[in-house]
Amino acid sequence: MSRITLVLGGARSGKSRFAESLARQHGGPRTYIATAEPFDGEMRHRIEKHREQRAGDGWQTLEAPLDPAAVLPRGGLALLDCVTVWLGNLMHHGRDLTAEVSKFCAALEACSAEVILVSNEVGLSIIPENAMARRFRDEQGLANQALAAISENVYFVAAGLPLKLKG
């Protein structure tokens, strides 16, 4: 497996399942970096469902909704799910997305662990009707480009089927 792998796809495309299947090929310790914040009941339910799916499967889970760079392990494998939720958190908290993505990319490049990143491809749909949604779509696209540039492997998942874009 390559040191940095980016897995892109739309909502319910199978990207997380594919990323987890890549992670299971790793024989060493595995860290799951979760970025979701439980803002409402539906999100709390999703978080709990994800925890249950990983239970007993050898994962150490770390919650990092605003600074995933701070919890990157020094070895083994880390799976971050997902970049899109992390960017939404940053936007919600008024952070500078460009600076945070640059900081994260630098931390990834310095990290000795293998890292799998899950991110949504949000630019394949209609143009959002409001300025905030358009800004988010643009920031997500720029973040995906920055992460793809430093990744050895990049996959796009649609309908549960991975397509290798790089590597």
SS3 (DSSP) at 66: coil
The set of residues, in sequence order, having a beta carbon less than 8 Å from that of 114 and lying 6+ positions away, is: 1, 2, 3, 4, 5, 26, 76, 77, 78
- Beta carbons of 138 and 128 less than 8 angstroms apart: no
Q: Is 83 in contact with 143 (CB distance < 8 Å)?
A: yes
Among all residues, which ones are annotated catalytic? 50
Show the tokens assigned to 110: 């310095």
Three-class DSSP category at 93: coil
The CA distance from 159 to 49, in Å, is 21
